Amino acid sequence: MPEPGASPLPPTPPARSPLARAERFVWLNARVLEQRLFAHHFLGASADPVETALDAYRTADGGYGHALEPDLRGPVGQPPHAVYALRVLDAVARCGGRRVEQLCRHLTSVSTADGALPALLPAQRGYPAAPSVPVVDAPPSALLTTGPVTGLLHRNEVWHAWLFRATDFCWRAVESLHGSHPYEVEAAVVFLDSVPDRSRAEVAADRLGRLVREQRLAALDPDRLEECPVADGYAPGEHRFPHDFARTPHSLARAWFTDAEMSRSLDFLAAEQRDDGGWPVHRRHWAPSAALEARSVATLDALRTLRAYGRPLA
């Protein structure tokens, strides 16, 4: 114990495990929400503070806004914010109750004539957003947002009238895909992994996996990225990998890739951790705050994916 008035002891050198490095990044850079999520997933903390942090992003109409999805700034509720909110609630096993009932009412109020969600509501106009996000007056229904929301609600056995037409829309959209892009396929996977009709989901997933390979939507060899095309509208280097489609070994998308392809993908993911402990985001960087917040989200996603596949973190 130091003498009174003496200089404090020097700090212990930081541990160099991937988890310890990521923890430092999170405490230094992440929003309160991602800090609470990290504490819950990796430090044994309660889910209650996660819900409390998420409440700060709620809108008066039961939706979510306030840059919960970092690429959309401003106070208005948007479907991508709802997707992220449900991801959070699902991750802490709190996807139910009055909170989700209110969200479903909000989803009903902003749905298209198909009973589905657009990618973005025109209310975003006037607030900052990533330049790649188009704001149109009459946005069409989108699998990009409807798929994850519907899938996450089914995964948690939420039953609401909104789900019936939204589920029908997702089936039509998934089963009619002949060309797509990686983020839309990822949205379809979330739907297929949890929709109740498992036989139909397996058939649709098998077809979708063939499309992914035929159209080279997944970068199967991280050492030869120059041979993998980037989807139209994506940033240079904005590749998606097998681990992005199959975030757990139990996903239907896992069958799309060989063991060797998945192993290479996970090796690449682990090696992507930067010196500051966080993982990068390969989308276009358009605002410093949005980029830093997105890195915190990406860091948690990377840690959870690596842990799901049994990769060492500590």
Chain segment 12-30, per-residue pLDDT in tens: 445 589 999 999 999 999 9
Task: Please state the domain count of the chain.
Answer: 1
Domain-located, residue 254: yes
Count Cα neighbours of 168 within 13 Å in the Cβ-side half-sphere: 7
Answer yes or no: is 263 within a domain.
yes
Q: According to the model, what pLDDT value does residue 8 have?
A: 59
- The answer as to whether 159 is a domain residue is no
Residue 79 CB neighbours (<10 A): 28
The pLDDT of residue 13 is 47
Query: Model's pTM, two decimal places?
Result: 0.94
Q: What angle do CA 50, 47, 297 make, to 5 degrees?
A: 45
Residue 84 lies inside a defined structural domain of this protein: no
**CA dihedral angle for residue 234, residue 239, residue 245, residue 246, rounded to 10 degrees:** -160
Q: For residue 253, tell me if it sits in a domain.
A: yes
* pLDDT tens-digit readout, 177-186: 999 999 999 9
Q: Do 198 and 158 form a contact (C-beta atoms < 8 A)? A: no
Q: What is the pLDDT of residue 211?
A: 98
Is residue 80 in a domain? no
Q: Which pLDDT score, from 0 to 100, does residue 133 have?
A: 87
The pLDDT value recorded for residue 16 is 87
Residues spanned by the domain of 255: 174-271
Cβ–Cβ < 8 Å for 136, 122: yes
Whether 117 contacts 146, CB under 8 Å: yes
In a domain, 139, yes or no: no
Residue ranges of the chain with pLDDT lower than 50? 1-2, 12-13
Q: What is the pLDDT of residue 69?
A: 98
- Whether residue 236 lies inside any domain: the answer is yes
